[in-house]
Amino acid sequence: MNFKRSGAVLGAVAIGAMALTACGSDNNSASNTTTVNSAASNASCEGKSTLSAAGSSAQKNAMDAFASTYIAVCTDKGKDVKVAYNPSGSGDGRTQFIAKQIDFAGSDSAIKGDQAAAAKERCAGNDAWNLPLVFGPVAIAYNLDGVEDLTLNGETLAKIFSGGITKWNDPAIAALNSGVSLPDEPIVPIVRSDSSGTTDNFQQYLTTASGGAWTKGAGSDFVGGVGEGAKGSAGVSQAVAGAPGSITYVEKSFADQNKLAKAQIDTGAGPVALTEETAGKAISGATFKNEGTGDLSLDLNSIFGTSEPGAYPLVLATYEIVCSKGYDADTSAAVKSFLTSAAGEGQADLAAQGYVPLPATVQDKLTASIAAIG
């Protein structure tokens, strides 16, 4: 049966998760009215009725959409299910997963090192898998009067965010923007003042794509040494909106909300604008560190370092961290069912909320890994 998610269904999600989502930082959720064909869903809706998860706030709106879709599908199949997701941050999600306080975690980076070893113990001696379910493009958003089409590259961005380029009419920027009148004005970088997966991914991008111009390293805290700080994605985007001459890195949805101009990125094959299609092209070319194992940890260099024509390279991936085996039967069935729905019909609404739906190349691998969860 085809139907639209009703207000009652969306209300159930909101009420069931109200206490949890109150601690989330940014909210850019869109209305959700996509028609769901529950008969075509591969979700079994079996297993325990309530799933719990926590972690990345970057994927919070995607998880809300996934939960809404899953509830709608399972309700139509005569099953009463709930999904509670707490956007408490990637680090907290991984910690709660290891402590068996939640069924799976959302994380802006793959679990590794000592945490991976601890997760293996939590999973009864089995590996935890990193499953990239949500991709969000990161915009280079700026406020520069009279300049609607700006092109930058990894090297110029690295120098802007480390203090090596301080004026908008710097020769390195001018060389990328032939015919554009660039003002002789200071550049005001706006950066995240709080720890952020977006910051970590941006700095990893600079490390990969700047040709050695970025030497600061990466991490969840901004290490460039310049700029004015603002808290959260909403904070940096609002700061740029109110500060002529400023520039930031922020999820596309927040740039759109604040009507900010977005720079094109030249990866060496010509300027590429940020769109669903160009970001999807970069994701399609992604490779995985542990091919053939079920774990889908991404080789981020394959995205950040792409020179594929028409591919936008600055994309944040968020993972669901799950036990490959070691769940009890009811939890295993529920985790597999929810993730099957999220990787399938759940992708339909993501573009409207600023995310990039999974390309087929990634979706096929993800679906196979989900099916292999024991």
- What is the pLDDT at residue 353? 84
**Residues whose CB is less than 8 angstroms from the CB of residue 277 and which lie 6 or more positions away in sequence, other chains included:** 310
- What is the pLDDT at residue 35? 61
Tens of pLDDT, residue by residue over 153-194, are 999 999 999 999 999 999 999 999 999 999 999 999 999 999
Q: By three-state DSSP, how is residue 272 classified?
A: strand
| Domain residue ranges in the chain | 2-136+318-371, 138-280
| Identical fold, 2-136+318-371 and 138-280 | yes
Residue 1 pLDDT greater than 60, yes or no: no
CA atoms within 13 A on the CB side of 338: 29
Question: 313: closest CA among 284, 290, 289, 291?
Answer: 284
Tens of pLDDT, residue by residue over 5-55, are 333 333 333 333 333 333 333 433 333 444 677 788 999 999 999 999 999
Tens of pLDDT, residue by residue over 246-260, are 999 999 989 999 999
Quickly count: other Cβ atoms within 10 Å of residue 49's Cβ.
Answer: 12
Q: What is the pTM of this model?
A: 0.82
Percent of the chain predicted with pLDDT > 90: 81
Percent of the chain predicted with pLDDT > 70: 91
Q: What is the DSSP string of 185-217?
A: -B-EEEEESS--HHHHHHHHHHHHHSTT---S-
C-alpha 365/C-alpha 295 separation (Å) is 10
Tokens at 170, concatenated = 């710097």
Give the architecture (CATH level 2) of 138-280: 3-Layer(aba) Sandwich (3.40)
Residue 363 pLDDT greater than 70, yes or no: yes
Superfamily of domain 2-136+318-371: Periplasmic binding protein-like II (3.40.190.10)
- For the chain, the average pLDDT equals 90
Mean of the pLDDT values across residues 308-337? 97
Q: By three-state DSSP, how is residue 110 classified?
A: coil
User: Of 13-17, 44-48, 288-292, 308-312, which gets the smallest average pLDDT?
Assistant: 13-17
C-alpha 7/C-alpha 19 separation (Å) is 19
Residue 60 pLDDT greater than 60, yes or no: yes
C-alpha 217/C-alpha 226 separation (Å) is 14
